[in-house]
Amino acid sequence: MSKKYVIEGGKRLEGTTYVSGSKNASLPIIAATLLNGGMNKLYNVPNIHDTKMMLKILEDLGCKIKRNNGKIIIDSRNIHNHEIPESLMREMRSSVIIAGALLARNKKVMFTYPGGCDIGSRPIDLHIKSFEKLGIHVKEEFGYIICEAEEIIGNDIHLDFPSVGATENIMLASVFAKGTTKINNAAMEPEIIDLQNALNAMGAKINGAGTNNIIIKGVEKLKDLSYNIIPDRIEAGTLLCATAITGGNIKLQKVIPEHIMTLLNKLEEMGCTIQINKNEIILNSPKKLKAVDIKTLPYPGFPTDLQSILGATLTVAKGTSIIVENIFENRYKYLNELTKMGAKATIEGRTAVIKGVRKLSKANVRATDLRGGASLVIAALNARGRTYIDNIEYILRGYENLDKKLRSLGANINIEER
């Protein structure tokens, strides 16, 4: 059965809402609970498809899981499997970070190539090369990648590109390694800091997360974990952009403003006024937004996950905006859908040029990936008339109660099942 969003655009968003726990921090931290062979309590885990899938993989490996709203108890004392089920691997690319955790725990893991959103080729060569640097043998057989080690040995690893997933996989794989592992050119995303904090709370010895040099000193064992996940900066950005495109005002709570400074700067350049309090952002939008240029880069640059979100917002900004997508080559599919709603955009390789129009209009559109799908929601909130967004399963992978939160701000959005 397929689900649709039905959105009647044109309502100004007004009011207060909050940000849920971070999807991209939850996934590696859930994987990390495999390491200690103990009892783990995680708080503020968003109840979304991707976290459910990650928990399903852990269950399949032998963990016992209890879920109560945002609180999850994971008992990882008994694990009886080292193979990540192919169907779950296909569902979600981030399942590849289970590999690092299972290697550290069992010295062996088998998996197939990961799936996930179709936003460009998503190789795992950096993960594999890094495993090999840690003394892990990697071979491909019958479509499986089999990784095995007698002993995991710390080493210096230089990443050609600061891959988020590869950085996390190295941190997980080397927790019990003999000696010290150093990651140079590591990803610096806030989710990496959250993973470091969670691992250290278990007794790991890691420092440097948040810089491009991370040092992991191998330890012998870890203890039980109780940990609260950081708020989702991409969801925060989505709610702010949704408000801005309707000319609305929002008080956003449970947010870490410093995680989205690049977006806040852009929104100010576009004419919004922004007040930042400790865990709160108040945004007031102007009558008419102004065009800005964006270039996506690894953190602390502008996040690729907000490219489509801000891109949709810019379709009604005064002037011409130029976007350069440097992280994933296939992240402009949403613009084809937005054209159906009256947006004016051209794409040339990694660059998109958006000419602002006065208003968008209703259309029947289709989510093509998670963030691209969310960008259609943003556009529909502005559009005249009733927009139908098909394939919203993509959006539900990454947003907890998006429709509910938008309704609480006055949006007219509903889910229709067929």
Judged by the rule CB under 6 A, the positions of this chain that interact with ligand UD1 are: 24, 27, 93-94, 122-127, 161, 163-166, 187, 191, 304-305, 327-328
CB of 132 to ligand UD1, least distance (A): 12
Q: Shortest approach of ligand UD1 to residue 299 CB, angstroms?
A: 7
Nearest to 380 by CA among 411, 354, 349, 408: 411
CA 349 to the chain's CA centroid: 24
> Would you call 374 exposed, middle or buried from its count of C-beta atoms within 10 A (0-12, 13-18, 19+)?
buried
Pairing label, strands 273-277, 280-284:
antiparallel
Name the residue nearer to ligand UD1 (CB basis): 245 or 370: 370
Contact 278, 244 (CB under 8 A): no
Residue nearest to ligand UD1 (CB): 165
Phi, psi of 190 (to 5 degrees): -55, -30
Minimal distance in Å, beta carbon 92 to ligand UD1?
A: 8
Going across the sheet that includes 71-75, the strands are 64-68, 71-75, 39-43, 225-228
217 bridge partner residues = 180, 205
- Closest to ligand UD1 by CB, 199 vs 409, is 199
| Beta carbon nearer to ligand UD1, 258 or 329 | 329
Which residue type occupies 215?
Answer: I
Select 76 or 94, whichever has its Cβ closest to ligand UD1.
94
| 105, amino acid identity | R
Could you tell me if 402 and 46 are in contact, meaning their C-beta atoms sit under 8 angstroms apart? Answer: no
Is the Cβ of residue 172 or residue 341 nearer to ligand UD1 in the bound state? 172
Rounded CA-CA distance 235/310 in Å is 12
CB of 380 to ligand UD1, least distance (A): 23
Catalytic-role residue among 117, 147, 241, 272: 117
| Closest approach of ligand UD1 to the CB of residue 26, in Å | 9
Task: Indicate the residue among 196 and 285 with the shorter CB distance to ligand UD1.
Answer: 196
Q: Is 117 a catalytic residue?
A: yes
CB of 233 to ligand UD1, least distance (A): 11
From the list 204, 116, 200, 108, the residue with the least C-alpha distance to 164 is 116
Asked if 88 and 60 touch (Cβ cutoff 8 Å), the reply is yes
Separation CA 368–CA 292 (nearest Å): 25
Amino acid at 411: A
- DSSP string across 90-111: HH-GGGGHHHHHHHHHHSEEEE
Residues serving a catalytic function are 117
